[in-house]
Amino acid sequence: MARLESQQPPHPEQADQPHHLRIPLALVIGRYFFYLLVGSLIVIGAPLAALTGQMRSGSIVPANYGEVHLDDVAKTLSTQPTFNADAIPSAYRYALFTSTDSIALSDMNASQIEFARTVTASPNEKDAQVVVEQQRFFYTAINLPDGRRCVLCYNLTPQWADKNLRDTLPNPQDMMFWSFGALAVLIVLIAMRASNVIKRKMNPLVEAAQAVGRQDLNTATGRSNVAQIDDVLRAMDEMRISLKQSLEAQWESEQRTREQVAALAHDLKTPLTVVRGNADMLIEDATAGALDIDQAQSAQAIQTAALSMDSFVSQIVEASHSGAGTLQFKPTNPSKLADQLEQEAKALVEARGFTLDTARSSSFTDACCQTATSTDTRAQWDARALERAVLNLVDNACAYASHSVVRLVFSFDATVHTFFITVENDGSGFSPEALVHGTERFYRDDASRTGSHTTGNVESTHFGLGLAIASDIAHAHGGTLNLSNQLAGNGTIQGARATIVLPEIIKRDEHYGKSN
C-alpha cells in the first residue's frame, strides 16, 4: 500500500505545473550528430585539405615520387663530375660508398646503412641498376663517375619536400593517422557528453519510478523540456493521481469497515457480560447444590460458550485496532524492545506449561549498539503493537507445539538494514494451504486447528485472527509476516516458523497505521 498523508484534492496537482519550452527528442539526439559532423570536418577535413594544398604547392612530394623519379635522379647523379647531396630529393635517403665499400656520406640510419652496404657489395648490383625491397623500403645502387657508388633508399609514403622538415617532423601520412586518432577521441567525448545529457533528461522518469517504488504517491512527477519524455511524465503523473485516488477510496472503505466491525464487537460486549454474569450465578448455585446434574452441566456449557465468544469479540476489537490508524510510531531501542518481548513471552509460555528458549544473533546485538548511539538510524516503531503481534505468534506457537519448548529469536541483516523476530515451535508445521492463506483473517487450517484447542492443560481458543493481527501490524511498520516450516536434513517438517520482517528505517503503510 502507498503512503497517503496529504488531504489535498489530487486533481489540481498537474494544473499548477508551469508551461515550458518543449523540444523533440530527435533534435536532442540530432545535435550530437551535428557536433560529430563538425568535429570530423575539423580534425579530418582540415588536415586533409592542408595536405592536398601542400602537395599542390610542392611542399609535400607524393607517395610514388621516389618510384617515378628514380631514373631521373640516377641519371643526374651519374652525370655529375662530383657528388652533390643537394641534388637528391627529400623522398630519398642516400649512402655514398668508396671504391673499397667504405661509407663516405649518408643520411640513412644504421640498419639502412648495413643493408645498403649489402646492396652495393652484391655482384648483381655492380653493373646494373636493380631495385631491392627490404621492410617496405626500396634500395638501388648508382655508379658515379669517380668510381664511387651511391645507394638510394625510398618508400611509398608522402614526404616533406624540405629535408629539414623531413628530419624533424613525422611524415604527412602519419600526421593524417594522428587526425584519425583525434577523431576517435572526439567521438568518445561526444558520446560521453550525449550520455550525460540524455541521462539528465531521463532523471525525472527515474525519480518518478523510484517514488512509486517507495510507495510515495503524494509527490508530483517532474517535468522535462524534451517533448517525448514530458509526455511519458505526464502519463505517469496521471497514473499516480488515479492510483492515489483509488487507494484513498479503498482505504476509506476499509476504515469504515473496521470501524463498523469494532462498533459491532463493542455492542456485543454488553449482552455477553449479562450472559456471563448469569452463567456465573448459575455455576455458584450448582456448586451450592441448588441445581441438578443436567442443569449444572448446562450452566457450565453456557459459561464456556460465553467465555469463548468474549475472547472472539476481544480478538475482533484487537484486529480492528491493529490496522485502524491508531498505531503510535516513536523512536524505539530494539534491545529494550527485545527485553520486553522476552519477558512478556516468557510469562505467556510458562502460563501455558511450556519453556521459552530465546536467542539473539551477534548481528542483532551489534545493530542494537549502533542504534542506541545514533539518532539518525533510530527506528520509528510502535512497541506496544509489536508486542501484541509477537505475543499472538507465541500464543499460536504454544497452541500447536508438540512438546514443551517455544523458541523466540532476534536477528538482523545489515545488507538490507532489516530486523527479524522469529517464533518457532516443534509441532506439525503449517500445511501448504496455511503457508499461503495463514495470514488471512478468520482462516483456520483444519479441524485440529478450529475452535478450542487444549495444550499444556490450558484451554485456548483460536478463531483465525492471531496471525492476521500480527501480519497487519508488520505491514503497518513497512514489513511483512513470513510463514515457513523448519525442515530436517531429510526434508521432514520439524516445526512451524513465523517471522516478522521489520525494516530499520521503515516506510510505514499508512493504510495500516498513522501517527496521531
Per-residue pLDDT tens listing for the chain (516 residues): 444 444 444 444 544 455 567 888 888 889 899 999 998 888 888 888 888 888 888 889 998 999 999 999 999 998 888 899 989 999 999 999 988 888 999 999 999 999 998 888 776 555 556 788 888 899 999 888 888 899 999 999 999 998 999 888 888 888 888 888 888 999 999 999 999 988 888 888 888 888 887 777 888 888 888 888 888 888 888 888 888 888 888 878 877 777 777 777 667 766 777 777 888 888 888 888 788 888 888 888 888 777 777 766 776 666 666 554 567 788 888 889 999 999 989 988 888 888 899 999 999 988 888 876 666 556 788 888 899 889 889 988 888 888 778 999 999 998 888 999 999 998 888 888 888 888 887 777 654 443 444 444 334 455 667 788 888 888 888 889 999 998 888 878 888 999 999 987 654 444 444 433
Residue 137's pLDDT is what? 93
Residue 269's pLDDT is what? 67
* H helix intervals, 353-427: 362-373, 383-399
484 within 8 A of 467, measured Cβ to Cβ: no
Q: How far apart are CA 20 and CA 223, in angstroms?
A: 9
- DSSP annotation of 157 reads S
Select the CATH number that applies to the domain covering 64-156 from these four: 3.40.1350, 3.30.450, 3.30.420, 3.40.50.
3.30.450
Q: How far apart are CA 234 and CA 451, in angstroms?
A: 54
| Residue with the three cell numbers 469479540 | 313
CATH, domain range 327-448+463-503: 3.30.565.10
Residue 276, C-alpha cell as written in the block = 456471563
For residue 510, CA distances in Å to 213, 217, 387, 472, 476 come to 15, 11, 20, 11, 7
Q: Domain locations in the chain?
A: 64-156, 226-322, 327-448+463-503
DSSP H or E stretch at residue 463: none
Residue 319's pLDDT is what? 63
Select the CATH number that applies to the domain covering 226-322 from these four: 3.30.70, 2.70.98, 2.30.30, 1.10.287.
1.10.287
Residue 352, number of CB atoms within 10 A of its CB: 21
Residue 459's pLDDT is what? 45
Closest CA to 497 of 426, 423, 445: 423
Q: How far apart are CA 5 and CA 219, in angstroms?
A: 11
227 within 8 A of 22, measured Cβ to Cβ: yes
**What count of Cα atoms within 13 Å lies in the side-chain half-sphere of residue 103?**
16
Residue 500's pLDDT is what? 94
Closest CA to 421 of 358, 486, 509: 358
b/e code 2-25 from CB counts within 10 Å (16+ = b): bbbeeeeebeebeeeeeeeeeeeb
204 within 8 A of 223, measured Cβ to Cβ: yes
Q: Is 252 helix (H, G, I), strand (E, B) or coil?
A: helix
